[in-house]
Structures are given as C-alpha cells and as structure tokens.
Amino acid sequence: MDWFTPFNTLLLAEHDLDVGSSGALLVPGTNLLIGGGKESKLFVLKRDQMGHFDANAGNGQIVQHFYVEPPDDPTDPIGSAAQDDGTGHHIHGSPVLWQGPFGTTIYVWCEDTVVKAYQARGDGTFPTTPLTLTGIPNAQLGTASSMGSNTGLGGAPGKSPGMPGGSLTVSANGGEAGSAILWASHPLANANQGIAPGIVRAYDASDLSHELWNSQVNSDRDALPSYAKFCPPTVANGKVYVATFSDRVMVYGLF
C-alpha cells in the first residue's frame, strides 16, 4: 500500500548497508513508524504517506531521519558504515518505546556504543543537531535525552562491542513514573562471524545512567553463557527469559 526507500539506496546496497537490519516500531496514538538500518540512522515515517523514493530529496520527503552514532570518518560515511567489526555502528535491534509521565521515549542500542534514549517532541519528532558528512545532505545527529555509562556494574563494559549491538525490551506498569525498566542483551565481543559470550542488563528507563543490575555482577550465578543474536529479552510473569546459543534458555527473577 505504501513504501519508503532512502535516496542513496543503490550505494547502500553496494556496501551491504540495508535498512532492513532493524525492525519497525509503531508509535501508539500517532500515524508514525520508526525504523533503522546499518547506516546507524533512524527514519521517522508517516504510515499513510511513507515518501517512496526520491533520489534528489536526501530523505527530506519523510518526517525525519537522524544518526544514532555518527560515522567515524565524516569524509567517508558510507565506507565507515561498511565496517563489520562493530565500528560501522549498525542498528540491528529494533527500537523500543515507553510512554511515561514525560511523554514518548524511544530506546536504541547500535554497535560499539552505549544504549541511548530519545525524548519525542509533541509532534512526534526528535531533537537533533546538524552533522556535516560528505555526500549525505542535511545529515542530523540525534540528541540523546539519556545514555548508558561507558562502564557498567560489576566492571562490565558499558558499550556493546562489535556486531550486533543490543537487543531491547521495556517492562513497565503502564506510564507510572519510576516503574519502567529497560532490559537489554548484547555480546561481550564481536559476534559477526562466531559465537560470543553475552550479558543481560537492566536500566532505569527514566535515566539510563542508572544501571539497576546485570548478569556480570554475580557472574558465577547469573552469567549468560553465549549470546543469541537478534533475540531480545522476554519479560512475563515477573521473570526475564533470555535465549542463548548454549542449548538453554536463561530465566531471571527476584529471590
């Protein structure tokens, strides 16, 4: 019925930088859809007017687009994004959302950086700052409202190193203040071409600098044996379920 393709889609295809690496997020109460890709960009689209393809618009025909993490080399943004060791900052996990007392917040965790939150304005768009990149017109960098720390609890790295970044889930008592937890899983090494050990984390969704728990704090009891790519934690019945590549599902809960 409708569709969108970035203005530089041929160049993206040549470098394996597809938009389809991230799933789509529908924003409740609006007609907006948010999705990401291997450029480390998020795209904000109208579901009933997605913009189609315009080679000359620089993606200006859609509601908004912005980088979660800027390219390491601003003179070669496509070449930077094409790196497969994590420094391309690809988005592989779908963004997730919480509608709390201060409005709509989305969360995303791309490769080789910390988890980030973005607070939506009243019109559904997000604050950004201009970003100068060669060959990418009207580039914008998203202004994070909250970010995880570079060093986590138990000495765990705050970044998600290598591919594929972090997979996220939110649990909350509706929009009640202080009730939302952002759950995340990510590898502890580059998992692009192999199996890597992983970690499960819980953050205060209102303040990502406040990490509540992770599976490395008491690693003898809680350590995730291996990371299963693209499998976000599942929260149900007061427990958190995490798939692994170690022939088991890990289940975490309160004592």
The Cα-based distances of 126 to 38, 66, 106, 108, 218 in angstroms read 20, 9, 10, 13, 37
Cβ count near 103 (within 10 Å):
13
Domain for residue 4, yes or no? no
Q: What is the pLDDT of residues 121-166, one digit of tens each?
A: 999 999 999 999 999 999 999 999 999 999 999 999 999 998 999 9
Domain for residue 60, yes or no? yes
pLDDT computed for residue 183 by the predictor: 98
Domain for residue 1, yes or no? no
Count structural domains, the chain. 1
pLDDT computed for residue 77 by the predictor: 97
Domain for residue 132, yes or no? yes
Q: At a CB cut-off of 8 Å and minimum separation 6, what does 164 contact?
A: 90, 92, 93, 111, 186, 187, 191, 192, 229, 230
Q: What is the pLDDT of residues 105-121, one digit of tens each?
A: 999 999 999 999 999 99
The tokens describing 6, both together, are: 């970035």
Contact 187/198 with Cβ under 8 angstroms? yes
Single pTM value for the model: 0.96
pLDDT computed for residue 164 by the predictor: 94
**Mean pLDDT per 10-residue segment, the chain (255 residues):** 94 93 93 95 96 94 97 97 95 95 96 97 95 96 97 92 94 95 96 93 97 95 93 95 96 91
**What is the DSSP secondary structure assignment for residue 225, as one 8-state letter?**
S
The tokens describing 244, both together, are: 């692994």
Domain for residue 232, yes or no? yes
- 146: domain range? 9-253
pLDDT computed for residue 20 by the predictor: 84
Domain for residue 86, yes or no? yes
CA-CA distance, 127 to 241, in Å (whole number)? 34
> What are residue 11's phi and psi, to 5 degrees?
-65, -40
Domain for residue 118, yes or no? yes
Domain for residue 3, yes or no? no
* Cα end-to-end distance, the chain, whole Å: 49
pLDDT computed for residue 135 by the predictor: 94
